[in-house]
């Protein structure tokens, strides 16, 4: 006997079938932290509108996620302050303060170093307040050695055993500085000074006789001279005496005229003369021997400075005098430049 269904039963079966299909299509996955703690979980089914317990893979109930959104009126939850968090904040503030002061210190140090370099890298005359006055040097023209005759060696060449200066002796004289007035009395005849005029520069008659005899004994060949007076009243005289060989000139200067402490013969105006201690040793010129002297106090009518030079076959005498005292710097400058011409 066949079963008969009523319309009501048909309607209920249709509703049950639809509900079952809707339930099958609604899958909810457990949260990540839940999946991490429960092994071999499977998708659980639940109502789309309620957060009821759903069966998990091991049969234990696991709370499903709540589908209701949080209320906007609920304030955000803040973690309670702990002693360790307060300490960390204080440490960070201290660290930031230290870093700020360290950066400031580095900036000031860099600026200070740059300023120091800028000062030390300048000349004194470029720094306001440290400008120095002129040290008194004279303005000499450009010094150029005269050319040697063709095929002639220099005075200190290895092939020149006699140490002879082959250049014109008159052209080896130092030129006068700018603004100086030439001393016409030292021009001589055709640039050569007479022997008697050179000897007249010594003070006592006995000294003049001694020098005159030495010039005869050592057979002086030529005497060239030049002199001038600068605007400050300093009178300069330069004499170049040439002999046959360097050996003759050296013997004369070291054994008869110039000694370490004082010269053997006295010039006019120089009463007490002794070694010039103010002349710097670093001003020496190669191949040139220098004997520098200065008049000691009390001066006579003038203060006198003098220097004998020995260079090859030439003996030079440089003299500077001025009322009161002869200036130190121009004297040293003149002696060095004349030495360079002979060296």
121 vs 86: which has the higher pLDDT: 86
Is 60 exceeded by the pLDDT of residue 78? no
pLDDT digits (tens, 9 = 90+) for 11-37: 444 444 444 444 444 443 433 343 333
DSSP 140-193: PPPP-PPPPPTTPPPTT-TT-TT----S-GGGGSPPPPTTPEE-GGGSTBTTB-
Q: How many domains, in total, are found in the chain?
A: 2
Mean pLDDT rounded to a whole number for the chain: 75
Question: Are 186 and 42 within one domain?
Answer: no
Residues forming a β-bridge with 227: 237
Residues of the chain with pLDDT > 90: what percent?
55
Residue 62: inside a domain: no
Residue 152: inside a domain: no
Residue 113: inside a domain: no
The DSSP element (H or E) to which 228 belongs, if any, is strand 222-229
Averaged over 43-59, what is the pLDDT? 38
- The reported pLDDT for the residue numbered 54 is 37
Residue 106: inside a domain: no
Residue 67: inside a domain: no
Q: pLDDT confidence of 296, banded at 50, 70, 90?
A: confident
Q: pLDDT confidence of 57, banded at 50, 70, 90?
A: very low
Residue 6: inside a domain: yes
- In terms of Cβ atoms closer than 10 Å to its own Cβ (0-12, 13-18, 19+), residue 11 is exposed
Residues spanned by the domain of 320: 169-342
Residue 302: inside a domain: yes
Residue 198: inside a domain: yes
DSSP 316-330: EEEEEEEES---HHH
| Cα distances (Å, whole numbers) of residue 318 to 86, 190, 335, 340 | 89, 21, 7, 13
CATH number for the domain that contains residue 295: 3.40.1000
Structure tokens at 174: 């130092």
Distance CA 307, CA 291 (A): 5
Question: Are 41 and 175 within one domain?
Answer: no
How do beta strands 302-311 and 289-295 pair? Answer: antiparallel
Is 50 exceeded by the pLDDT of residue 331? yes
């Amino acid at each position: 006997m066949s079963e008969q269904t009523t319309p009501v039963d048909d309607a209920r079966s249709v509703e049950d079938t639809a509900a079952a299909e809707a339930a099958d299509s609604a899958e909810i996955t457990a949260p990540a932290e839940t999946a991490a703690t429960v092994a071999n979980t499977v998708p659980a089914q639940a109502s789309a509108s309620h957060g009821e317990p759903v069966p998990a893979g091991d049969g234990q109930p696991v709370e499903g996620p709540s589908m209701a959104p949080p209320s906007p009126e609920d304030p955000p939850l803040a973690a309670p302050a702990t002693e360790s968090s307060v300490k960390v904040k204080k440490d960070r503030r201290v660290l930031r303060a230290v870093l700020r002061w360290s950066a400031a210190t580095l900036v000031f140090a860099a600026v200070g170093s740059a300023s120091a370099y800028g000062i030390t890298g300048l000349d004194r005359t470029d720094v306001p307040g440290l400008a120095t006055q002129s040290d008194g040097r004279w303005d000499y023209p450009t010094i150029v050695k005269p050319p040697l005759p063709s095929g002639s060696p220099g005075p200190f060449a290895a092939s020149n055993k006699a140490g002879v200066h082959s250049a014109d002796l008159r052209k080896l004289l130092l030129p006068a500085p700018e603004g100086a007035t030439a001393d016409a009395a030292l021009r001589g005849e055709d640039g050569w000074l007479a022997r008697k005029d050179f000897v007249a520069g010594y003070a006592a008659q006995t000294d003049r006789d001694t020098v005159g005899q030495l010039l005869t004994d050592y057979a002086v060949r030529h005497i060239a001279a030049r002199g001038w007076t600068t605007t400050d009243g300093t009178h300069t005289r330069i004499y170049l005496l040439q002999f046959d060989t360097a050996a003759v000139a050296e013997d004369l200067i070291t054994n008869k005229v110039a000694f370490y402490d004082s010269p053997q013969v006295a010039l006019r105006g120089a009463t007490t003369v002794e070694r010039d201690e103010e002349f710097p040793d670093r001003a020496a010129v190669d191949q040139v021997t220098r004997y520098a002297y200065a008049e000691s106090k009390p001066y006579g009518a003038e203060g006198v400075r003098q220097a004998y030079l020995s260079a090859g076959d030439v003996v030079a005498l440089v003299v500077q005098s001025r009322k009161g005292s002869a200036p130190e710097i121009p004297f040293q400058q003149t002696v060095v430049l004349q030495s360079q011409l002979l060296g």
